Structure 1
Amino acid sequence: MDDLTGFQRDLLYVIAGADQPSGQEVKDEVEKYYNSEINHGRLYPNLDTLVNKELVEKGQLDRRTNYYAISDKGQSSIEQRREWERQYID
């Protein structure tokens, strides 16, 4: 996970905490946290990066809507990150 940007990490966490969210649902959640609008040109290339790194799986809900789901590798990466963080926070 050390090769992800903070934005990509935030996307991964949002996806991990939801049940197969659409790109729009991910966007809405991240916009709440960032308190600003996230444009599609920023969102979708970063989601594609997570898919290409096999941290997230991408599927199709219908002809126009994709969903995203955390992969086993993505879940493991989050757990490893949290363990690393604990040594500094606890």
Structure 2
Amino acid sequence: MYDLTGFQRDLLYVVAGLDDPHGLAVKDELEEYYEKEIHHGRLYPNLDTLVEKGLVEKSQRDRRTNEYAATRRGEREIQARADWEAEYITHDS
């Protein structure tokens, strides 16, 4: 995951976390988080990069809609990132 951009990492998290991760649902989630429009020219090439890296699977729901799902590798990468982050975040109560 170290070689992903922050945007690609956010995409992976959203794909893994959505119940119905299709392109527009992913776009809507990211627009809400970033509080600005995410253009298709940014979204889909970055999703394709995640597919090429084996972190996300892409399938076709219908002629116009692609569905995405985190692969086992993608899920492992998310967990490894969470573990790494936890090493540096103290939880003083």
Deviation >2 Å, runs of 4+: none
Q: Give 5+ residue unaligned stretches, structure 1.
A: none
TM normalised by structure 2 equals 0.94
How many angstroms does 1:21 deviate by? 1.0
1:42 — aligned with what? 42
Larger Rg over CA atoms: 2
1:28 counterpart = 2:21: no
Aligned to 1:55: 55
Q: Match for residue 69 of structure 1?
A: 69
Could you tell me how far apart the structure 1 residues matched to 2:65 and 2:8 are? 20
Q: CA RMSD in A?
A: 0.7
C-alpha distance in structure 2 between counterparts of 1:20 and 1:57, whole Å: 13
Q: Which runs of 5+ in 2 are unaligned?
A: none
Q: Secondary structure at the match of 1:57?
A: strand
Measured after TM superposition, the shift of residue 84 of structure 1 is 0.2
Match of 2:16 in 1: 16
Aligned residue for 2:19, secondary structure, equals: coil
Aligned residues: 90
